[in-house]
Structure 1
Amino acid sequence: MFDRKLDIAFWDHDRMQALRDGSVAIDGVDPTFHSGRIVTDIFERMIKDRAYDAAELGLSYFLRTMDFDDLPFLAIPVFAARAFRHSAIYINRASGIAGPRDLAGKRIGELALYGHDAGVWAKGILSDTFGVTPDQSRWLVGGIDFPLEPIDWVPQPHPSGVAVEWAGGATDLGALLVDGELDALISADIPKAVLDGNPAVGRLFENHVDVERDYFRRTGIFPIMHLVVVTRELAEERPDLVKAVYRGFTEAKAACATALARGMTFNNITVMIPWLSALIAEDRALLGDDWWPYGIARNRSVLDTFLRYHWEQGLSKRRMTIEDVFVPYLLDD
C-alpha cells in the first residue's frame, strides 16, 4: 500500500539503479524518478523550482541554501558522489609550477562556481597540507569544453581578499589552460586537452592515485561531493517517509556493491574494464568492504572537514555543524 507519491531526482549512478529499475522499493512510497541532461540540471530544478521531494545536490550547492532566509532543505546521509580530488588540479606545464606551493601568485581557473565541490576539497587540502590558501592566487570561474551560463540560482560569495572573476559563458577554461592564459585549473570535470594527452597540460599530482591513497591512509577521508536532500516540509511532517527513502537508497547501494563483489568470482566479465576485479580487491583492502559508506557515524570526520573548509573559504556565513544540516532522526545512523 502506497502512502504517498514522491518525486525523487538523481543522476545515473550505478549505486541508485536498483531504485530506478524497481528491484529495491521504498516502503510506503510511490516514487517517480527524474534525472537531467547533466547533473547540475537536477540541482537547478531543485533549488530554483523546488521541483522534487528529494534530490541529489552538490554539497556546496546545498550548503549555500542554508543561508537562505527560509531554509528549504535538510540532508539525509546518502552520498551520491564521492571522489578524491588531488587529481582535480591541472597545470600548464610552462607555468613554472613544480609543486603545490608554486600555485601561490598564479592565475587559476575553476569550473562553474568559486567553490564548486571539487574546488572546496582541493583548496582545503592545499591549505591544510601545503599552506597554500586561496587568497594567494587569482581566480577565473567559467566552463570547460562547452558553453556555461552563470549559475545565478545560488549565492556566490567569496572573501573580499580573494580576487575572483567570471569568465563569460563562451569562454573555455581548458583552452585558456592550454594557451597559458591560466597557470592552473581546478575542475571536477577532466578537460578535453588532458584526456587527449595534450603535452601543454598535466596534473599537479601526476601520481595522483598514490597520493590519494596515502591521503586516505593518513586522514580516513574519502571526499564527499554530492548528497541527497529532502524538502524541509517533508522532513518535518513525515519522518517515516524520509527514513524509508534513506533505507531505499541504502539498500540500492548495497545491492550494487554486492553485485560488484560477487562479480569478482567471474572476473567481472560483464564490465568492459580490464583488471577491474583486482582494483575492487585493492580498494576493499584500503577502504573496507563497505567502501562507499552512508550514514553519519562513518562519515562524521569527512563531513565536518568539508563544513570547515566551506566556512574557511568564505562560502558559509557561519561555521555549520552536522546537526545543523541533517535531519535529526538520522543522526545516529
Structure 2
Amino acid sequence: MSDVPLKIGCMKYDRTRALFDGTVEIPGADAVFEDARLASDVFERMVRDQAYDIAELGLTFYLRTLDLADPPFVALPVFPARHFRHAAVFVNTKSGIEQPEDLAGKTIGEFGTYGHDAGVVAKGVLADDYGVTPDQSHWLVGGVDEPMAPFGFVPFRHPADVDVTPAGRALGPMLATGEIDALISGRVPQCVVDGDPAVGRLFPDYETVEREYFTRTGSHPIMHILVVRREFLAEHPDVVHATCRAFGEAKDAALTQYRRGALGQHVELMIPWFTPLFERDDRMLNGDWWPYGVEKNRDTLDTFLRYFFEQGLGDRRRTVDELFT
C-alpha cells in the first residue's frame, strides 16, 4: 500500500527541524514540508486556501475559524510556538508610561490585527495582574516596520466599546516619534533592536517578571497550534495520529540535542553563557520544556480561551475539549 501524500505548513524551528531534514519521519505518509518568511504567511495560506493538509496556525486565528458556519479545521495537541509576552510590550520613553497602569488613556499599536496571539496574552496579563483593560486605550493596528493593512484572512473584529482603527503606517517608526505611546507586538520593532533611546520595554527586566509569572501561574503561554483539515482527518486518522507522534519526536530530539550539548558547554552554539541559562531553564521547567498533549496544557489553554472571550474576539467562552478531536 502506497504512502498517503501529506502537505504540512509550519516554520522551521529547532523543535521541527528534524521533520524538515528527515531525521524524524511520519510512518504511512509521503510528507512534504513548507515554511515561509513569516508564520502569518503559513496561517494565511491555510485559512484562505486550505493549502495544507496539516499546518501551524496561530491559536487566536484557529479560534476565529470555529465561529464560521462550517469550521474547516480541528486542532491537534501540538504547540509549535509558545512564548512569555511581558517582553512584547514596547513604549515611547517620553510617553509618561513608567508602569503598566500608565497605559490607560494612551494610544497603543498592535501588530497584524486586534488580537494577534502575542496581543491576546499580553492584554490578558495586563488585565489580570494590573487592572489595565483594552477599553481604556485607543488602538492602531498594522505592520511593525513597514505599512500593512490588518490581516485580511480573518475578520477584523473588536468589541464596540474598544476604539480600534487601521494605522495606515508602520507602527515602529510611529512609536519612535511618539505618535503612538506603546506597541504590543510579537515582532520586535527595528528601533528597539537598534537601541533607539526613544523606545524601550514596559518591563525592562522582563526575564525576571516572566519567570515570576511562570512560578506563580505555571503557565508557559501557547501562541501557535497544529490544525488539520477536517476532510483529511476523516479520511486518514492514522496518518494524523502518526503526525502528532512525529512532531513530538522532533521536539524531543531538539531538547536531547541541547542536553547532550551541555557535555561540551554547548560549544556548537558559541553563545556566551548559554549553558548556565540552559541549566536554569531546565530546573524551572522541570525538564519538560514544551509539553504537548491536552492534559499538560489544559490550564494554559483555558487561560487563553478566557482572554480571547473577555477581549471580545469570540462569540462565546469555549472549553479546551472543544478544540480537539
TM-score bracket for the superposition, by shorter chain length: over 0.9
State the alpha-carbon separation in 1 of the partners of residues 223 and 216 from structure 2: 20
RMSD: 1.0
TM-aligned CA deviation for residue 157 of structure 1: 1.1
Shift of 1:297: 1.4
Specify the code of the residue in structure 2 equivalent to 1:295.
G
**Structure 1 residue 93, shift from structure 2 partner:** 1.0
CA distance in 1, matches of 2:67, 2:79: 21
Matched, 1:70 2:98: no
AA matched with 2:139: W
Which residue of the other structure, out of 287, 298, 307, is the alignment partner of 2:296?
298
In structure 2, the residue corresponding to 1:158 is in which secondary structure? coil
Q: After superposition, where does 1:255-274 map in structure 2 within 5 Å?
A: 255-274=253-272
CA deviations on 1:3-22 (whole Å, 9 max, x unpaired) are 31100011111100111111
Counterpart residue number, 2:112: 112
1:36 offset after TM fit, Å?
A: 1.5
**Mean CA deviation greater in 49-58 or 232-241:** 232-241
Structure 1 CA distance for aligned equivalents of residues 75 and 170 of structure 2: 33
Query: What amino acid is aligned across from residue 12 of structure 1 in structure 2?
Result: K
Tell me what 2:4 maps to: 4
Q: Does 1:96 align with 2:88?
A: no
Query: Are residue 156 (structure 1) and residue 156 (structure 2) matched?
Result: yes
The list of structure 1 runs, each at least 4 consecutive aligned residues, that deviate by more than 4 angstroms after superposition, is none
What's the TM-score once normalised by structure 1's chain length?
A: 0.96
Does the 8 Å CA contact 2:121/2:304 hold for their aligned counterparts? Answer: yes
CA apart distance, 1:155: 1.4
Aligned equivalent of 1:308, options 301, 306, 312: 306
Q: Distance in 2 between matches of 1:149 and 1:271?
A: 38
- State the alpha-carbon separation in 2 of the partners of residues 213 and 2 from structure 1: 48
For 2:234, give the aligned amino acid: E
Output the amino acid matched with 2:126. Answer: L
* Distance apart, 1:235 and its partner CA: 2.2
Partner of 2:57, secondary structure, is strand
Of 261, 276, 283, which aligns to 1:285?
283
Q: How does 1:133-152 map to 2 (within 5 A)?
A: 133-152=133-152
- Aligned equivalent of 1:179: 177
- Give the Cα–Cα distance (whole angstroms) in 1 for the partners of residues 266 and 5 of structure 2: 37
Q: Distance between the aligned counterparts of 1:220 and 1:180, measured in 2?
A: 36
Aligned-partner Cα distance in 2 for 1:124–1:132: 9
Shift of 1:2: 4.3
Show CA shifts across 1:231-262 (max 9, x none). Answer: 01122333211110100000000011000111
Structure 1 residue runs of 5 or longer lacking an equivalent are 328-333
Instruction: State the Cα distance separating 1:146 from its structure 2 match.
Output: 2.3
Task: Tell me if the contact between 2:149 and 2:166 (Cα under 8 Å) persists in the aligned partners.
Answer: no
Matched, 1:17 2:5: no
Query: 2:126 and 2:37 mapped to 1: Cα distance?
Result: 32
Identity of aligned residues (%): 54
Please tell me whether residue 191 in structure 1 is matched to residue 166 in structure 2: no
CA distances 1:304-328 after superposition (whole Å, capped 9, x unpaired): 000110011011111111111112x
Q: Which amino acid aligns with 1:18?
A: A
Q: Distance in 2 between matches of 1:53 and 1:283?
A: 34
> Which string of whole-angstrom CA distances, capped at 9 and with x for unpartnered residues, describes residues 62-84 of structure 1?
11111111110011111111111
Residues 22-41 of structure 1: matches in 2 within 5 Å?
22-41=22-41
- Is residue 216 of structure 1 aligned with residue 214 of structure 2? yes
Q: In the alignment, is the contact (CA less than 8 A) between 2:53 and 2:232 conserved in 1? A: yes
Which residue in 2 is equivalent to 1:331? none
TM-score (norm 2): 0.98
